[in-house]
Amino acid sequence: MTAGRPDVTLGPVSFYSPGQTAEKTGFSLDTLRYYEKIGLLGEIDRTAAGRRRFSEDDIGWLGMLRCLRETGMPIADMLRFSELARDGDDETIPDRIALLEAHDRYVEERMVTLRAQQRHIQDKIRYYRDLVAGT
Amino acid sequence: MTAGRPDVTLGPVSFYSPGQTAEKTGFSLDTLRYYEKIGLLGEIDRTAAGRRRFSEDDIGWLGMLRCLRETGMPIADMLRFSELARDGDDETIPDRIALLEAHDRYVEERMVTLRAQQRHIQDKIRYYRDLVAGT
DNA sequence: AGTTGACCTGGAGTGCGCTCCAGAATGCAG
DNA sequence: CTGCATTCTGGAGCGCACTCCAGGTCAACT
Q: pLDDT tens digits for A6-40? A: 655 544 468 999 999 999 999 999 999 999 999 99
Q: Which of B71, B101, B113 to mutate to test the interface with A (most CBs of A within 10 A)?
A: B71
Domain of residue B106: give its range: 15-133
| Nucleic acid strand C within 7 Å of B49 CB | yes
List pLDDT tens digits, range A79-104.
Answer: 999 999 998 889 999 999 999 999 99
Q: From the alpha carbon of B50, which nucleotide's C1' atom is closest?
A: D8
Per-residue confidence band for A3, with pLDDT thresholds at 50, 70 and 90: very low
Domain assignment present for B108: yes
Domain assignment present for A4: no
- Distance in angstroms (rounded) separating the CA atoms of residues A80 and B67: 31
Q: Which residue of B has its CA nearest to A127?
A: B97
Domain assignment present for A116: yes
Q: In chain B, how many domains are there?
A: 1
Domain assignment present for A8: no
Domain assignment present for A115: yes
For residues A29, A31, A36 and A41, what is the CA-based torsion angle, rounded to 10 degrees? -100
List pLDDT tens digits, range B106-131.
Answer: 999 999 999 999 999 999 999 999 99
Residue B4: its pLDDT value, please?
A: 52
Is B104 within 8 Å of A90 when comparing Cβ atoms? no
Domain assignment present for A31: yes
Mean pLDDT of chain A: 92
Domain assignment present for A2: no
Domain assignment present for A92: yes
Which chain A residues in 11-30 sit with Cβ < 7 A of strand C?
A: 17-20, 22, 29-30
Is A124 within 8 Å of B94 when comparing Cβ atoms? no
- Distance in angstroms (rounded) separating the CA atoms of residues A75 and A100: 14
Q: From the alpha carbon of B27, which nucleotide's C1' atom is closest?
A: C18
DSSP state for residue B43 in the 8-state scheme: P
Strands A54-55 and A15-16: antiparallel
The CATH number linked to B95 is: 1.10.1660.10
